Amino acid sequence: MRAYAISLVLAVGCSKSAPANQQQGGGQMPPTEVTVVTLTSEKIALKTELSGRTTVALESEVRPQITGIVKARTFTEGARVKAGQVLYQIDPAQYQATLAGARADIASAQAAVEASKLKNERYASLSKIEGVSKQEADDARLAHDQAVASLAQKQAALQTASINVSYTSITAPISGHISKSLVTPGALVTAGQATALTTIRSLDPIYVDLVESTAQRMKLRAQVGSGALQAGSTAVKLILPDGSTYAQAGTLEFAEVAVDEATGTVTLRAKFPNPDETLLPGMYVRAQLEEAVDQDAILAPQQGVTHDPKGAATAMVVGADNKVEVRTLAADRAIGDRWLVESGLKVGDKLIVEGLNKIGPGMTVHPNERVAAGAGSAAPAAPVGSAAPSRK
């Protein structure tokens, strides 16, 4: 009985010590199955999302140009006003009186010009026949010239008085929405005062000021300049504070030529139509810009890209003789569920996307191409490099 037990233990031990990579009959274990994606190039638009705030395209602070007492306010606060519409009425009595005096001065000056003209003509004739001295003729001519100059001065004073009367009606310089009034009837206002009476803002169109880092902008300009990328369009898409997309597309107008020293950013300005006045000044928004186009972009599925302990992006590909190779990548942006690869992978590489936890560098694997979406889940994936099975 003891001999039988010993022989059984020895048999079990011999069975466990057999090589793990042997099957029944002494064969080797087959290569590990992995799923791969063969990389191709495609044309993509490189979009950048920037934050910014809305700002009015036109804004005007309304101030008086003369001094006087406000008699009336003729607008409704918060309403829409048109350019030229009367907003405030200043008591015009003083300025109307000055205008009337200027008109009287004009009449007097015109009479003086006529009298001096007649005297000048008469003395000029008499001087020819020595009826008056040459000095008297010159004095008459100069008196006429002075009368003409005085009339010109009176005409300028009349024009000034007329302008001041028109300033008693304070009108809207632009069309737009008017804010609250900071003065009421009976208030004394002065010409050139620091405090505005009210403010008018035009909301259609509206500007969006965006900020972009200097480093990002310089890198993009260098890539476009080298021919690696093509310049994108000027169209801008806006994301509102609630996460929804603004219905109207905007246009990139310009970029500042100076860098903000405090933040190291450059300001870009986009213009958006705002017919429904959905956008209000001061709103925080995000904008998507198509800054460049990559004609030969390589996009790697994110599930096939990992990071090493130093944070560098790495990927495993199936190389020659179906052996696993490790690549270090430069991939700085995600597009959907894929990474945009700048270096480390090339067109035709077979990127391993499934089975990564079962393999290591240098191992021989059996790659299967991932089935494209919509190809049918019932059909098995065909191994890379092998022909599809024929139907019998």
Comparing CA positions, the residue from 191, 227, 231, 222 lying closest to residue 64 is 191
Of these ranges, 102-111, 228-237, 357-366, 382-391, the one predicted with the greatest mean pLDDT is 102-111
> Is the pLDDT score of 390 beyond 50?
no
CA–CA separation, 140 and 122 (whole Å): 9
Indicate the pLDDT class of residue 22, thresholds 50, 70 and 90.
very low
Indicate the pLDDT class of residue 2, thresholds 50, 70 and 90.
very low
**Same domain as 343, residue 322:** yes
The pLDDT assigned to 4 comes to 41
Mean pLDDT of 274-289: 88
Q: Which residues pair with 239 in a beta bridge?
A: 245, 286
Report the percentage of the chain scoring pLDDT > 70: 82
Report the percentage of the chain scoring pLDDT > 90: 25
Mean pLDDT of 79-96: 93
Which CATH number fits the domain that encloses residue 279? 2.40.30.170
The pLDDT assigned to 356 comes to 83
Token couple for 124: 């000029």
The pLDDT assigned to 60 comes to 92
The pLDDT assigned to 103 comes to 92
Indicate the pLDDT class of residue 190, thresholds 50, 70 and 90.
very high
**Same domain as 99, residue 84:** no
**Same domain as 182, residue 77:** yes
Indicate the pLDDT class of residue 224, thresholds 50, 70 and 90.
low
CA–CA separation, 268 and 283 (whole Å): 16
Q: How many helices (H) and strands (E) does the chain have?
A: 4, 21
If you count them, how many residues does the chain have?
A: 392
Which CATH number fits the domain that encloses residue 71? 2.40.50.100
Report the range of poorest mean pLDDT among 9-23, 103-117, 151-165, 174-188: 9-23
DSSP tag of 323: B
> Is the pLDDT score of 24 beyond 50?
no
Give the HSE-up count for residue 137: Cα atoms under 13 Å, Cβ half-sphere. Answer: 14
Indicate the pLDDT class of residue 342, thresholds 50, 70 and 90.
confident
The pLDDT assigned to 95 comes to 93
CA–CA separation, 341 and 126 (whole Å): 103
The two most distant CA atoms of the chain are separated, in Å, by 175
Whether this model's pTM surpasses 0.75: no
The pLDDT assigned to 138 comes to 82
Report H helices in the chain.
2-16, 93-128, 134-167, 214-226
**Same domain as 155, residue 98:** yes
In a domain, 14, yes or no: no
**Same domain as 137, residue 106:** yes
Token couple for 285: 């928004």
**Same domain as 174, residue 86:** yes
**Same domain as 181, residue 117:** no
**Same domain as 151, residue 78:** no
In a domain, 141, yes or no: yes
Range of the domain at 270: 46-57+202-294
Amino acid at 341: V
pLDDT in tens, 53-83: 999 988 999 999 999 999 999 999 989 999 9
In a domain, 22, yes or no: no
CA–CA separation, 93 and 214 (whole Å): 60
In a domain, 15, yes or no: no
Percent of the chain that is helix, strand, coil (3-state, to 5): 25, 35, 35
The SS3 call for residue 347 is: coil
**Same domain as 311, residue 249:** no
In a domain, 374, yes or no: no
Which CATH number fits the domain that encloses residue 141? 1.10.287.470
Token couple for 147: 């009368």
In a domain, 17, yes or no: no
Q: Write down which residue in 294, 321, 344 finishes a domain.
A: 294
**Same domain as 357, residue 287:** no
In a domain, 243, yes or no: yes
**Same domain as 226, residue 268:** yes
Comparing CA positions, the residue from 176, 205, 149, 233 lying closest to residue 62 is 176
Report the range of poorest mean pLDDT among 40-49, 77-86, 268-277, 303-312: 40-49
In a domain, 306, yes or no: yes
**Same domain as 188, residue 229:** no
> Is the pLDDT higher at 283 or at 258?
283
> Is the pLDDT higher at 119 or at 225?
119
The total domain count for the chain is 4
